[in-house]
Each structure stands twice: as structure tokens, then as C-alpha cells.
Amino acid sequence: MMIAIPGLLSGDALAQVRRLLSEADWIDGNATSGHQSALAKRNRQLPEDCEAARAAGSIILDALGASPLFVAAALPLKVFPPLFNRYGEGESFGTHVDNAIRLKRGTDFRIRSDLSATLFLAEPESYDGGDLVVEDTLGTHSVKLSAGDMILYPASSLHRVTPVTRGERLCSFFWIQSMVRDDGARSTLFDLDSAIQSVAADRGQSDDAVIRLTGVYHNLLRRWADA
């Protein structure tokens, strides 16, 4: 399941994140790559323990917690602290799959990567190329969103970033361990939750059908959740 989260960052939050990143020192993107990724990856990245990354990441984490759409789609248990990358002209990231387990260096924090997230921080008209291309059972999807918008997709998907041919692509990326590890089960719960919200908007939260459907949702969540 791929889900776009429009407007995750407001204008002020987006401007603050951009300012923090503009003042930071960037390093080779392969600082956090596994063996497979290092063969395909050509970009720059913020050191994950630098002050700018921590401050910008905190802004993003606050926005995630305040997004009902993100919570409904991801059912998050753990979120890896956001990382940041930039692609200039000629830079790209070839086809790869994300590591199943992500470790935060120097700590005992680790997550199972059920979902990958890319938060776009540059306006799409400011650069050419740099599309996120995700392959799943329904085909190949090319994604290039407005600044402040985010895409969620299964971390098990093959994906790549096409070469940038003009300007600069700036993004945050991170992973989520969901309470529900199975993508099909998460998709079912998300569809059911969306239907409940639609019926509730029409009939009211106290309607008998809304109450019963909400019970079904929570009983399925109880059955499938790891936590």
C-alpha cells in the first residue's frame, strides 16, 4: 500500500527545516549505506547525529504525531529518527531494497522496517529528474510531490531515485515499524477506518452501525497488532 500524506509540514515548519539544512555540513551519502546500497547510491547526506538533523527531525516527528492520516495508515510503533539527503545534478540512487532492520548508531535503538517514508522538501519545479520510483505487485509508480508532502510505501518494495538533471532534490527519509507488520492487514484496517469515518460523517459517531464497525476495527487490530 502506498499512501501520500499531503501537507505534513506547514509553511512555517517547512521553512524552519529548510533553514536548518541550509546551514548544515553535508557528507557522502554512503555513510549509512549497506553493501548493496553503496554500489548504487550517489548523493549527499546529513550526519545523523548532527544538531541540524536532530532539530529538523524533531519538527518532523511532531508533525507525524499530529497527522491522523499518518497514524491511520502506518499504525506506528516506532519511527526511526528522520535522516536527510540531497541530490545534485548527475546524482541518483539505483534500484535497491531497504534493510529489514535499522539500527541507530551508538545506541540500542533498532526497528523492523515495515514502511519507508520520503518527505519532499524542495518544490518539484525547482529540479528535474529525482523521481522516487517504487515497484510493487501493481506495477511501477513514479512519485515527485510538493514540498511538505510525504509518501509512505512498503519497505520491502524495490525502489530507486532517478538522476537529477537540473537543480537539487532535498528530502527527509526514514522508516516505521508498524504495530501491524503485514502490509495486507494494514491496508484492510486503513480501508475499514476510512469507511467508518465516512459513515460517521454522514450518520454521526453515535450511530449503531458506526459503533459496531468501530468494534470490528478494534477487534481486528487486537488480533493483528504486535503491541
Q: State whether 147 and 206 are in the same domain.
A: no
d(CA 57, CA 103): 16
Asked if residue 31 and residue 107 are part of one domain, the reply reads yes
Name the domain count of the chain. Answer: 2
Q: Are residues 118 and 195 in the same domain?
A: no
Residue % of the chain over a pLDDT of 90 = 87
In terms of domains, do 33 and 110 share one? yes
144 lies in the same domain as 187:
no
- The whole-number average pLDDT for the span 113-132 is 98
In this predicted structure, the answer to whether residue 139 has a pLDDT above a threshold of 70 is: yes
CATH assignment at residue 13:
2.60.120.620
Q: What is the domain extent for residue 96?
A: 3-178
Q: For position 33, what pLDDT does the model report?
A: 53
- pTM (2 d.p.): 0.92
> What would the pLDDT profile of 64-99 be if each residue is shown by its tens digit?
999 999 999 999 999 999 999 999 999 999 999 999
Q: Are residues 187 and 159 in the same domain?
A: no
Residues 6+ apart with CB under 8 A from 139: none
Cell of 10: 506547514
193, 195, 198, 202 alpha-carbon torsion, rounded to 10°: -120
Same domain assignment for residues 74 and 144: yes
Confidence of residue 106 (pLDDT cuts 50, 70, 90): confident
| CATH of residue 210 | 4.10.860
- The mean pLDDT of the chain is 94
Quick: pLDDT tens for 25-67: 999 877 655 555 555 789 999 998 899 999 999 999 999 999 9
- Whether the per-residue pLDDT at 166 is higher than 70: the answer is yes
| 58 and 144 co-located in one domain | yes
Q: Are both 204 and 118 inside the same structural domain?
A: no
> Can you tell me which residue has the cell 522508516?
175
